[in-house]
Amino acid sequence: MNYQLSYIIATFNRLPFLKLTLGRLIAELQPGEEIVVVDGNSTDGSKEYLQQLFDEGNIQQFISEPDQNQAHAWNKAMLMARGEIIKKIIDDDVFCYTAIRKCKDFMIGHPEVDAVISNDLSSSVADHTQIQKLSRLPQFEKWKNGLVPSFTFGDVHLLIRKSSLALVGLYNTAFVMMDWEYSLRISYAKANIAYFTGYNALSVAHPETVSSSKNHQFIAEQGRRGSVFYEYEGDGAGISAWSKLKIAAGKRLKPVAAAGEQTAAHTAENIASIYSYYYNYLADLNNAQESTFLFKT
């Protein structure tokens, strides 16, 4: 079968989030689309859950085996993808599939475009009604106009053409903040990036987002090397800020998670309610505004 769009997921021991994300994605799946899941040999029931979905034909590709790190898992998924366009689906974030299909349709209609990014939203399960609107549009415009050789963006809202992997490559498995390095590489390689002024994703912070024990010195050194290699001038989104944002979110939420000794069922119920709020907010926001695509012609 020929697929236009591959949704790829790399996961490890995050069954409550995985069930929410896959439940919605499976319900939204359309002809010409596939779901590819790479599980890192989970021990929390994720592997069995995914195997059942695969056996029932609800997901099109699935493997479960140990990974070296997150980048290794995502690289496997990208190589497995059979679609012309690849969309990364992070198991604990929120996505607007209507907006994603707008981005996909734009790329199908503009074969010269290698990748599409969009505005982003950010929130924390500790205070889920507080949602921050984020944009890298000014940085994109500077890059598009040749004023800077590279810029950064989150891959939560990235769609990439599979054939363009020959130009930009896969994730660098040596980088802790792999998406930071990948965005610099894509822009530095002069890939044709289009910017969607709508929102196709909402980033969610919670205690399991990252480990707070990351080696800050190692991350800082990676940031220095990446900035030099990609001639990144810095614009407030350097690797230190990238890691601090994610790690701080995890640290901030740990006392919340520890308080009260909630049962697993109650926690799952709360998570489902919070994510339902996010999905509705994201859909309503996109429906309330006109969005367009900006790119090099």
pLDDT digits (tens, 9 = 90+) for 32-53: 999 999 999 999 999 999 999 9
Residues, the chain: 297
Tokens (6 digits) for 25: 């994605």
Query: What distance in Å separates the CA atoms of residue 247 and residue 239, rounded to the nearest whole number?
Result: 12
Contact 159, 86 (CB under 8 A): yes
What is the tens place of the pLDDT at every residue in 246-291? 443 333 333 333 333 343 444 677 889 999 999 999 999 999 999 9
What is the tens place of the pLDDT at every residue in 209-234? 544 345 677 778 888 888 999 999 88
The residue to which tokens 């601090």 are assigned: 244
Contact 158, 86 (CB under 8 A): no
**Which are the contacts of 156, defined by CB distance < 8 A and separation ≥ 6?**
88, 90, 93, 120, 179, 201, 203
CATH topology of domain 3-294: Spore Coat Polysaccharide Biosynthesis Protein SpsA; Chain A (3.90.550)
Query: What distance in Å separates the CA atoms of residue 141 and residue 168, rounded to the nearest whole number?
Result: 20
Residue 237: pLDDT band with limits 50, 70, 90:
confident
What is the tens place of the pLDDT at every residue in 150-179? 999 999 999 999 999 999 999 999 998 899
Angle between helix 239-258 and helix 178-188 axes, rounded to 10 deg: 150
φ, ψ dihedrals at 290, nearest 5°:
-90, 130
